[in-house]
Amino acid sequence: MEKTLISLAGSGESVELSAIVNDMTNEEIESVITKCMRLEDGSTTEVIRAIFKGSRDKTEKSQMRTEFVYNSCIQILQSNELRSKANSEIIGILLQEIDYLPSSMVIKLTKTFLNDIKSADSDLGKSLDLFPKLLSTLSEQEAVSYNEDEMSGLECKNTLIKTLCSSRWHRSHVIHLANMFRDVQLSQEELRSVLNKILGMLGQLDMQELPPIVYQLLLLSSKGHRKLVIERICTFFIDQDIECARREEQQGSSDLMEVEEDSSEALHHTEGTVMLHITFAIKQDQDLGREYVKFLKVLQQCSPMQLLAPFSLAMALSTARIHRFQEQVYEILKSSILKSYKDDEKKTQNNWAREMIPDMEDVSILVEHSIENSKAGWDQVTQGLVELGFNLMDSFGPRSVFGRVTEAVAQSAVLSPNQKAANLGSLILLNTFKAHKVVRPEILEQILNRVVTKTSSPVSHFIELLSTIVKSFPQIVLECQLKVREAFDYLGYLPSSSADGLLKALQPLFKISISLKDSLLLVLRKAMFSRQVEARIVAVHGFLLVLRNFKVMGGLPSSQSFCSSQESTSSQLIVDIHVHTSQNPNSNEALCLEILGNLRRCFTHQADVRLALYEGFYDVISRNSKICHSVIDILLFQMKKYFEMNEDVMPPLRLGQCVITQGDKTYLAEPLGHLVSCIHQCLVMADKIEDEQSDEDIFITGQADLKAMMTSIAQRMIKGELEDFELDKSSDYSLGNSTGVKNTIFAILVIGLYEVFMEHSFIMTNSISVSVSEDITKLFENYHKLCDTLREKSAANGAKKGGKTSSVSSKTPRSLMSQKCAVKFLQLLFKDENPQHQDSIAVFHDRPGFVEYIINVSNQKLQQLVDRGRCDGAEGQNKEKVYQYCCLIAGIYMSHYSQKLQSGETVDKLLTNAMLDGLHNAFKYISIQQSEKIDTFLESMVTIKENENTVYNMIKKIQQLIINILSSDDHHGHLKDVVSLLNIVNLLVHQLPVSSENYTKITEWLKKISTNQSIEDGPVVKRLLQQYFTMLSKSSNVLVVLRDVAQDVHSLCGDIDQEIELEERTHYSVVNQKTAVPTVILLVLSQLDKELDYSDWVLNSLKSSLTLMTTTKNAVLGDNSQDEETGPTQRETQERSLCGRLGTLTTVFHELCQSTLPTGLTIETLLKTITHLYNTLGLMAKYYLMMYTQKLGHFSVRFEKLVKLTGTHLTQLIYAFITYAQLSQSEQIQADGKDKKKSAAGTSGSAKIIKERKYIPNLIFSIEQYEKFLIQLTRKFKVDLMEHIKLSTSRDFRINTAALNEALEEQSSDDDDVDTDGDSDGSEKENDSTQNAPAAKTAAPRGTANTSTAVKEPPKKKSKLQIKGKSKVKKT
């Protein structure tokens, strides 16, 4: 039978073929098809084609047969019994026959497919390829009958697709269906339904099924709705990451842990494949990339944490590899990280903001997850991590000042957001360097490039990162030796601080690679002969670094180091076989000899180069003691150039050789004071080395000669006078001629010498005696005279030149006395109780100015530590020694000040103030630079009980000192001390948790002081209230306090309505007539401005949440119904809290706007702050307008109350205040105009008034904008928000009602006296009376296009007004 069918179909005998087919039953047809399938000779497709060809007549029997054959073929395709080629041929036949099917049969077949899709048992297989053709054919029909309804083919197709999307799909069919829909012609609405259905099925699929379905979705997105697809895919995987992290936290047993680890690993592999699909799709479809960037921007503004989630961050970094999106993506990521840190900063500073916005996960943890995941196959992320890390590190500040790079020393214990971002970038690079070998060379190259090229910004953070990498992975860094050597070539062009830091960071490599060390030495030798002084200084620092770190195990022969002509031994003789072994001691000896020979050339270079050498020698011999004798020999050789051997010759040093004169210019050639200071420190270290190695036979050549020289110079300087140096008061110190410049240089050198020999005489003596004290005081006397002479001459020369003093001679020179010596002096002067030393100590105390000098030197060192992290002099860079000295200085200062205060003795105010300044700097340095040692630092000053907080114990002691000052009879003389003590309290408070009980106690103490103590000193009150406001803002609600303080200011200043008398009753005693204006009110306004900033921040966060919900169509928040229920509730709570806060702020301004304030800064600041308030209120109204537009809710009842409060208690008062301010300004202008003798002051006052006038239009504009938004809300929500707000009238001019009434009364009286016939005369009088009242109607120009500086007359007040905390009584 099958052969007959095939032959008739091939011969074209359609009649016979139709007759044979019509005679066949369904069973026979099925039998023939089954028989052909068994033969597998390809006849199956021919038989099916013949049967279809024989059923072309439109009889009902033929249609039923065609339907039967169609269903049979579909079953064959779904059974997968035929080969793929045969299946494809059958599909081709069926697709051709669809054109001949009636619409009813097409609908039936479509319904069959719908039922198969719902069924889990059916395997759609290749049969699904028919579905697009069926839908296409159906859409071409003009009219069809579907479920007994007549409709067009397009409507039927749309109905079928909706039915399909609304039905339940088995997850095994999702991928096939997604692939099928690519061939279906869909409208945008149909496509959206299909995409939503497929996207909704993502959560039901296995991990291995997600990449192919994502691929199909991306292909479908080419038809439209790219935004929907990319957002929903990214959101899905972000949620998966969150869920995975939540499961990991809830793991219970080890078995569960293993299962979770497997699922987590599978998720990460899946995400990696999905990212590849998305990245590839974005490369092919630029519109998809643009939609993705828009999505990232939405997340940046609304939810930075979701943007920084592992998948989202990795996806963004993968996209950044595409060049056209690179810059945008990195900028978005950088801005998101900075925004996260800024948000954290605001939350730490304000308790209310912390309560409003929930805590978010640490950014660094999220980024670390991405780095860890990059090890699991996310190779495309690695390069992006490197770029992101460097982008973040580039945000580090501060920038250069006038082209000079400032040293990056932390000035606060709290890092700024930019610094946190830079630290995060450093962490990213460090972990990426550790995890991925392929990017290591690039990371090193980029670090070195930035150190070399960034001359306009600090590079310390790059150097710190390099140092960490070198210490952690030295062998890996050595693999990139070539890049390090390239960086060496630029050493001479770097600032000395950058070059020094770079060499210190690379220093560990020099010990394990001889070739690298030799490369460095070669570069340093070249730099030593550079024309640039900075390059020579770098060379000196580099040589000294090598000397410090390559210790000599045996002694060096003195003659080798002393003879400059001896040939240097090259370190290159040691071959690279020692690269991974310990250094050969002999090689270190040869190396040190070579370096010392190079350093001797410094004595022919500029003074700055020599200075760098002198400052580094002490540190070298303290760490490499075996070269001490060589260094002393070098110093002895140099010192002989300036030393006068004849004891009878004065002065003992040849100062003339220290100065070079070239033409009309004079230069310093030898920093003699630093040379002598270096000799002194090296001699002290040499004695220490002798004591430590007393069992060895040591003789240091030149040490005795240097000691004899120093003793001779000291004795002669003690006996000599300033006249011996020709530096008395008669000398010329002007900088206008070479003689004056030379004398000034000589004076500075001699001042340094006196300091050095004071230290030498004090340190080198075994025990203090009266004779030693007298020698030191004699040196100090000459030092003091010379300093006074130089200061007086400088002031005199400055007066002759117009009042400008010389910056060279007038500023305090840096002291050459070491911190160690200053500390020993302090211990002797204030703590030594040895009876044998009392006479010597009395000599120091009796010498006027000596104690102050020692304290000033100590304070100068402390200030240097705060500014630079190190101080001048020996051991100034040794953190441990500096810490010990800080402990001793702070302990002495605190003990002495406490004793004097408690004893009630008369104290030197300058001395105590200097001590407190130094104490504050000591606390500041420790709390910022060495905060980990703060507890031991405090324990060195106070006795700590067990289980008691060290920081709080110290604060209690300072509190007691403040109370003693305030309760003393003569407390006015010590009020400045209170400011310094409060500054110390501020530093210590940062060490306490805000939620701790101790923090609350300190806040209550500040409140008690402010309430009970009547302090009239402005700076003290400002610091006290500033500390109180800041702490209260962090821990609780500060607005209530601000309202009380505002009421106090109002009571003390009086009301702008002169008929209102206020009761003078205040909540805080520190607010009084002397402090209320301007000290307290400016402080209150400053704090109000901060509180408004926090309100703006919370309001913007609320707006961002609405934007996120509307822009992403709830995609980012997910489809969790619980979130939808709790979200609005949380938002409403935040809105109510925000409205209540703004209401409290309104009451504060209600008080301030009625206060009589002086013209100037106070009124200007108040106007600016009120403008800020109305801007915030306008933002609140716009927020509710946005909510209405998006149909997300209704404004709260509290907002209605807030609007009523602003309308009844603030807006009208502001207009009255503006009128008062303008009248005050007019009076001030008139006063300035009458005072001809004070024209300069008048001009300054007028300038301030003009500035104030600029703020008035801005304020009125803000008010009108706020009212405009309220009108819009009234129209949209059908609630009258303008009920209690009186709309402002035109302010193009203002009518002064009182002046107008007076003018009218005068006109009326004149009319009564004039004859009735004199109409013309009366008319003239009327005009004259109107002109004589210019205040009656005054035209004022508009400040802007929409506003004017003029305002209407304020409303009349009632005779009695009752206000919380005080009452207003009308004057009788």
The residue type at 1058: Q
pLDDT over 50 (residue 697): no
Shortest CA distance to 812 belongs to which of 851, 868, 857?
Answer: 857
pLDDT over 90 (residue 672): yes
């304290």: which residue's tokens?
Answer: 855
Answer whether 1076's CB lies under 8 Å from 1053's CB.
yes
Per-residue pLDDT, 41: 60
Shortest CA distance to 829 belongs to which of 756, 905, 889, 916?
Answer: 889
Instruction: Write out the H or E segment, with its range, that includes residue 1060.
Output: strand 1060-1062
pLDDT over 60 (residue 405): no
Per DSSP, the three-state class of 1370 is strand
More confident residue, 1307 or 962: 962
Per-residue pLDDT, 136: 83
- pLDDT (average), residues 320-325: 92
pLDDT over 90 (residue 1092): yes
User: pLDDT digit string (tens) for 197-223?
Assistant: 899 888 888 888 999 999 999 999 999
What are the distances in angstroms from CA 1208 to CA 50, 60, 900, 1212, 1285? 92, 86, 57, 7, 7
Answer whether 758's CB lies under 8 Å from 817's CB.
yes
Shortest CA distance to 311 belongs to which of 275, 282, 276?
Answer: 275
Secondary structure, 3-state, 989-1001: HCCCCCCCHHHHH
pLDDT band at residue 1234 using 50, 70 and 90 as cut-offs: low
More confident residue, 1213 or 20: 1213
Task: Give the C-alpha separation, 1209 to 1146, whole Å.
Answer: 8
DSSP 584: P
More confident residue, 609 or 577: 609
Q: How are beta strands 1293-1295 and 149-151 bridged, if at all?
A: unpaired
Per-residue pLDDT, 290: 93
pLDDT over 70 (residue 1368): no
pLDDT over 70 (residue 828): yes
Per-residue pLDDT, 894: 94
The residue type at 981: L
Task: Give the C-alpha separation, 344 to 491, whole Å.
Answer: 40
Beta bridge partners of 401: 404
The torsion defined by the Cα of 801, 805, 808 and 813, in degrees rounded to 10, comes to: 160
Q: How are beta strands 1366-1370 and 1060-1062 bridged, if at all?
A: antiparallel
Per-residue pLDDT, 1360: 33
Secondary structure, 3-state, 1-65: CHHHHHHHHHHCCHHHHHHHHHHCCHHHHHHHHHHHHHHCCCHHHHHHHHHHHCCCCCCHHHHHH
Per-residue pLDDT, 38: 63
pLDDT over 50 (residue 1340): no
* Lowest-pLDDT choice from 355-369, 556-570, 639-653: 556-570
Give one DSSP letter per residue of 296-348, joined into a string.
Answer: HHHHHHH-HHHHTSHHHHHHHHHHTTSHHHHHHHHHHHHHHHHHHHHHHHHHH
Shortest CA distance to 886 belongs to which of 853, 924, 913?
Answer: 924
Task: Give the C-alpha separation, 627 to 596, whole Å.
Answer: 9
Shortest CA distance to 987 belongs to which of 1054, 1037, 916?
Answer: 916
Answer whether 1296's CB lies under 8 Å from 1336's CB.
yes
Per-residue pLDDT, 1264: 92
User: pLDDT digit string (tens) for 1038-1086?
Assistant: 999 999 999 999 999 999 988 888 877 789 999 999 999 999 999 999 9
Answer whether 1056's CB lies under 8 Å from 1154's CB.
yes
Number of neighbours of residue 275 by Cβ within 10 angstroms: 24
Task: Give the C-alpha separation, 263 to 251, whole Å.
Answer: 13
Per-residue pLDDT, 1237: 47
Per-residue pLDDT, 1048: 94
Answer whether 119's CB lies under 8 Å from 158's CB.
no
What token pair was written down for 33? 């098809």
* Lowest-pLDDT choice from 449-463, 472-486, 677-691, 1317-1331: 1317-1331
CA angle 725/729/733 to nearest 5° reads 80
User: pLDDT digit string (tens) for 709-736?
Assistant: 999 999 999 998 888 888 877 888 888 8
User: pLDDT digit string (tens) for 476-500?
Assistant: 999 888 989 999 999 988 888 899 9
Answer whether 577's CB lies under 8 Å from 657's CB.
no
Instruction: Write out the H or E segment, with its range, that includes residue 1366.
Output: strand 1366-1370
What are the distances in angstroms from CA 680 to CA 617, 707, 763, 1077, 1330? 11, 9, 9, 56, 91
CA angle 540/541/545 to nearest 5° reads 115
pTM of the model: 0.84
Give the mean pLDDT of the chain. Answer: 82
773 Cβ partners below 8 Å, 6+ apart? Answer: 840, 841, 843, 844
* Lowest-pLDDT choice from 569-573, 719-723, 1017-1021: 569-573
At what angle are helices 14-23 and 60-79 packed, to 10 degrees? 80
pLDDT over 80 (residue 584): no
Per-residue pLDDT, 42: 63
| % of the chain exceeding 90 in pLDDT | 45
Secondary structure, 3-state, 1075-1111: CHHHHHHHHHHHHHHHHHHHHHHHHHHHHHHHHHHHH
* Lowest-pLDDT choice from 72-76, 152-156, 175-179, 1030-1034: 72-76
Task: Give the C-alpha separation, 689 to 683, whole Å.
Answer: 10
DSSP 1339: E
pLDDT over 80 (residue 947): no
User: pLDDT digit string (tens) for 782-822?
Assistant: 999 999 888 888 777 765 655 544 444 445 678 999 999 99
Per-residue pLDDT, 692: 78
* Lowest-pLDDT choice from 250-254, 388-392, 454-458: 250-254
* Ramachandran angles phi, psi of 1210, nearest 5°: -135, -55
Give one DSSP letter per residue of 819-879, joined into a string.
Answer: HHHHHHHHHHHHT---GGGHHHHHHHHHSTTHHHHHHHHHHHHHHHHHHHSS-SSTTTT-H
Burial of residue 22 (CB within 10 Å: 0-12, 13-18, 19+) is middle
Per-residue pLDDT, 639: 94
Q: Is 1058 left (phi over 0), alpha (psi -120 to 50) or beta?
A: alpha
- pLDDT (average), residues 882-898: 94
Across 108-235, where does the E strand assignment appear? 144-146, 149-151
pLDDT band at residue 563 using 50, 70 and 90 as cut-offs: very low
Per-residue pLDDT, 264: 81
More confident residue, 1111 or 417: 417
Shortest CA distance to 1134 belongs to which of 1084, 1206, 1175, 1187?
Answer: 1187
